[in-house]
Structure 1
Amino acid sequence: MKWETAITNYKNYLRIERSLSDNTIDNYARDLKKLTRYLEQLDKPIDPLQITREDLQEFVYTIAKEVQARSQARVISGLKGFFNYLVFEDYRTDNPIELIESPKIGRKLPDTLSEEEIDALIDAIDLGKPQGERNRAMLETLYSCGLRVTELISLKLSDLYFEEGFINVVGKGDKQRFVPISEHTQKYINIYRNELRNHIDVKPEHVDILFLNRRGRQLTRAMIFTIIKDLAVKAGVKKNISPHTFRHSFATHLLQNGSDLRSIQQMLGHESITTTEIYMHVDRNDLAREMAKFHPRGKE
């Protein structure tokens, strides 16, 4: 079996059987191609069914010199998934990377923005420009609903249930969830829809997409990153932020204001509560204040 064939089949498996997103599938394929390039450079004609643990161990040693521990762990995890697939499909009887350990990495706490910083970013939007109302509506939606960037650009007009106070969000693996949307955010989306979007020549294939570029097409992930980076410069926000920072801030602010973790999990669309629990560790000062306020010994 050739690597190209195996990778194509694996991508189809991830798409059809696992219902993973295109971005996730591309990341898995990218890591496998690192392995194939490594083998080509060594002039080792080893196919996926013949490669051994020793071959993979050498590859892991090589990438350890080039990438950080977190990236190295991701590559190893991706390779384990690929060889588990080959075992599942009866192409192999063993997983040659199964016993290779990933580097120990600490859990990275997410960056967050304060309410004042979010307000500053939104205030930096030039509403005099044609896309100003759209950008304000997008940032309000990111922060108010805790969306991933792909969920934001994929949001449809038919997903808006404003009378009920919800939007339908299509998340990872095409899983749907209903997320509450405030009247405040609804107001800015309606301004964009009525004052800007109605005057765009929308392409037929994007007629139901909410947020559009000037050519009437769906926005790209890269465009959202660019918009936010530019606004950070204008607003004087020094943090290294991205669209995902708004999602982290959404969850952190809910937790700080008393929301329970299960509710946040449902709104974020996390499959496991363990993923959501990272927000319990974001602000340790809050824990100290809680101790001082409520524990009998803390009051001393």
Structure 2
Amino acid sequence: MRMDHHMQIANSAFATRCNYLRGLKSLILHYEKLPEECTADEVKAYLVHERETCNLSSSTINLRVCSLKYYYRHVAGRLDLVVKIPNPRIQKYDTEVLTSEELKKLFQCCRDMRQKLILTALFDTGIRVRELLRVRLSDFDKQHQSITIRNSKGKRTRLVYYGSRLRIVLKQYCKYLGYLPKGVLIESYKDPSKSLTLRGVQFIVKQTVKRSGLKKRIHPHTFRHSFAVHYLNCGGSIFSLQRLLGHQNITTTLHYLKYASLPEGKQISVLDEMP
């Protein structure tokens, strides 16, 4: 497909390419014709159908709009349609942060060591799910207790750190498998030569939450949010947190200050401190 070729040349992330192609394919199947053959009114009607009939979230609709605008701007050259397609207003939710007790409950409700490793690693390191699914045992540095995260968001490489509890769970996981995984660490249940999928992790988290009885809106990314807030509560620097999370812009990291319980600092007069 032309858009996929264009996005590959533009060095777009694999996940972005998949999401954009999915959105474009949805429009093609809806009208059974090429996107450039659609009018602005037809595109708008399609988006309304997706939102009201298919009950898609505002963020998913926004992704659909982004994919169509990308296609019309960069592939089809239909700038007239780009202007006429409105950007949806995204519904924002408060960031859910798990307490220590809630985390312990979730860890206890894991059915096997693979599930426990996933939840433990997500919280202890704060890495994204897609990053975890690419991690290999060879990425672990036992001496410095660090993990090399390769080709993360923005095609960057960074280091994250892990503690003794994750080290123990990792050891138990390898014992549970009966061997040291040579490929990806989080293997698929059906095919050990492949990684567990994103949907697989989402399903595991959903079922674990259900067994725990917790009523919060918890998804895999919740563990990353929780890591960030707990890190700040433990005295971690906001700039160190930015590096650990792999945020390019500090503004994204500053969002977590709103949820952290930071101690009030002593009032200091810098003038009085002068000798």
Q: Structure 2-normalised TM-score?
A: 0.80
1:109–1:278 Cα contact (<8 Å) kept:
no
- Aligned counterpart, 1:208: 183
CA distance in 2, matches of 1:188, 1:27: 33
2:146–2:159 Cα contact (<8 Å) kept:
yes
CA distance in 1, matches of 2:115, 2:50: 40
Query: Structure 1 residues 245-254 or 258-267, which shifts more?
Result: 258-267
1:112–1:245 Cα contact (<8 Å) kept:
yes
The change in CA–CA distance for 1:278 and 1:15 in structure 2 (over 3 A counts) is farther
The change in CA–CA distance for 1:227 and 1:27 in structure 2 (over 3 A counts) is same
- Which residue of 5, 13, 17 maps to 2:6? 13
Quick check: 1:92 aligned with 2:77? yes
Query: How much does 1:118 deviate?
Result: 0.7
CA distance in 2, matches of 1:216, 1:104: 42
Quick check: 1:56 aligned with 2:37? no
Structure 2 unaligned segments of length 5 or more: list them.
269-275
- Aligned counterpart, 1:65: 52
CA distance in 1, matches of 2:57, 2:213: 30
CA distance in 2, matches of 1:220, 1:49: 33
- Aligned counterpart, 1:168: 148
Query: How much does 1:54 deviate?
Result: 4.3
Quick check: 1:182 aligned with 2:158? no
SS at match of 2:158: strand
Corresponding letter in the other structure for 1:182: G
- Aligned counterpart, 1:191: 172
Corresponding letter in the other structure for 2:26: K
- Aligned counterpart, 2:88: 103
SS at match of 1:196: helix
- Aligned counterpart, 1:149: 129
CA distance in 1, matches of 2:204, 2:4: 31
The change in CA–CA distance for 1:223 and 1:61 in structure 2 (over 3 A counts) is closer
- Aligned counterpart, 2:204: 227
Structure 1 unaligned segments of length 5 or more: list them.
1-7, 127-131, 296-300
Query: How much does 1:62 deviate?
Result: 4.2
The change in CA–CA distance for 1:71 and 1:209 in structure 2 (over 3 A counts) is closer
The change in CA–CA distance for 1:55 and 1:134 in structure 2 (over 3 A counts) is closer
The change in CA–CA distance for 1:155 and 1:52 in structure 2 (over 3 A counts) is same
User: Across the two proteins, how many residue pairs are aligned to each other?
Assistant: 263
2:58–2:91 Cα contact (<8 Å) kept:
no
Across the aligned residues of Structure 1 and Structure 2, the Cα RMSD in angstroms comes to: 3.1
1:261–1:276 Cα contact (<8 Å) kept:
yes
CA distance in 1, matches of 2:198, 2:158: 21
Query: How much does 1:58 deviate?
Result: 4.0
Q: Structure 1-normalised TM-score?
A: 0.74
1:178-199 CA distance string (max 9 Å, x none): 1112233223213333x233x2
Quick check: 1:26 aligned with 2:18? yes
SS at match of 1:102: coil
1:143–1:249 Cα contact (<8 Å) kept:
yes
CA distance in 1, matches of 2:91, 2:207: 31
Corresponding letter in the other structure for 1:19: S
The change in CA–CA distance for 1:75 and 1:213 in structure 2 (over 3 A counts) is closer
- Which residue of 76, 84, 106 maps to 1:121? 106
1:28–1:78 Cα contact (<8 Å) kept:
yes
The change in CA–CA distance for 1:107 and 1:226 in structure 2 (over 3 A counts) is closer
- Aligned counterpart, 2:28: 36
Query: How much does 1:160 deviate?
Result: 0.7
SS at match of 1:153: helix
Corresponding letter in the other structure for 1:72: I
SS at match of 2:172: helix
